Amino acid sequence: MKYKSSLSIKLKIVNMSILNKSRTDEVTDRYLAGRSSTLVSVVVNIALTALQICVGLLSASQALIADGVHSLSDLVADIVVLVAARQSRNPADEDHQYGHQRFETAASLALGAVLLIVGCGMLISAYFKVQMPAVDTVHMAALWVALLTLVSKELLFRYMLRIAERVRSSMLVANAWHARSDAVSSLVVALGIAGNLMGFHLLDPIAALVVGLMIVRTGWRFFWRALSDLMDKAVSEEESQAIRTTLLSTPGVFGVHDLRTRKMGDLTIVDVHLELDGSQTVTAGHAIATLARQRVMDQHHVLDVMTHVDPVVPLA
């Protein structure tokens, strides 16, 4: 009996070591992929910010200047993402015993806050421009820069989203969709500038106003989602049911109750009560609970599973 228990424990240790190594490799891959895509975004945003603001000032386009400020906020967001991605891969320590995954959630919260501040500032500026619109016609160069920005941001969005979905990072997904919102705002800017060139001078500040509204909407969405995760929001009902199904399919598990989940960055922490045969030994029950935990961690995006065993009498 002692030999069997010792062998069982050794097998569990080996399995957990393999699982931990897999988790470490996954974190490293996510970090490297996120860093490379974000660095590309940094380079693109530096170039676009300088180009948009300079041409916007020279061509007297309020909308293009607003879009340049938007690109500048993207650059700030990229820096936040780089710092958060580096911090989130740090292992658990005495002060953060569940790891540092929530640095990514905090980064998404900061990203949303930055967008809200920038968007509100742009709305105030655009409002006064609409009240007292300039009668000057913007230069044709502003339209070409707006179109170049539109194409660049759309390509950047597709590139970043593909990487974000591959590594399953909500922070990178948020940053990718931020690039998509930039592409849409650049389209609005291009339409406003085109209208100005056709003699409708009010369209340029109106375009700046629309861009501000879009930025505020995007910022609020990211901010609220991250805040909900920091307040221990549960995973979706579909994901919760999938975890429950995995647990119930584990040999020796007769029932599951009090299944609770909460987000930890892009991962999930699960607490659950497992109903096991009360007539079996503690060692056997522990082995079943360990197997159920490992199956969930293997099949779902889960950081840890805390199990509580409830003894029951199985029906004949």
Instruction: Looking at the structure, tell me whether residues 189 and 123 fall in a common domain.
Output: yes
Alpha helices in the chain (DSSP H): 2-59, 62-88, 102-131, 140-167, 170-197, 203-230, 237-248, 282-299
Strand, helix or coil at 309?
strand
Tens digit of pLDDT at every position of the chain (316 positions): 343 444 444 444 445 444 454 555 565 666 677 778 778 888 888 998 899 899 988 887 877 887 887 787 777 777 777 777 677 667 777 777 777 777 777 877 887 887 788 788 778 877 777 776 655 667 888 889 989 988 998 898 888 888 887 777 766 777 777 777 778 778 888 888 888 888 887 777 787 788 778 778 878 887 888 888 788 888 889 999 999 999 999 999 999 999 999 987 777 899 999 999 988 899 999 999 999 999 998 889 888 899 999 998 876 5
CATH number for the domain that contains residue 92: 1.20.1510.10
CATH number for the domain that contains residue 301: 3.30.70.1350
Residue carrying the six token digits 């969930």 = 296
In the β-sheet with 267-277, what is the strand arrangement from edge to edge? 255-264, 267-277, 302-312
The count of domains in the chain is 2
**Domain end marker among 201, 230, 259:** 230
Q: Which two tokens stand for residue 263?
A: 């987000």
Range of the domain at 204: 2-230
Instruction: Looking at the structure, tell me whether residues 219 and 94 fall in a common domain.
Output: yes
Strand, helix or coil at 217?
helix
CA distance 191 to 196: 9
**Domain end marker among 199, 230, 261:** 230
- Sign of the torsion formed by the C-alpha atoms of 155, 157, 162 and 164: positive
Q: Smallest Cα–Cα separation from 74: which of 51, 104, 41, 47?
A: 41
Instruction: Looking at the structure, tell me whether residues 55 and 203 fall in a common domain.
Output: yes
Instruction: Looking at the structure, tell me whether residues 258 and 225 fall in a common domain.
Output: no
For 109-131, the pLDDT digits (tens) are: 887 887 788 788 778 877 777 77
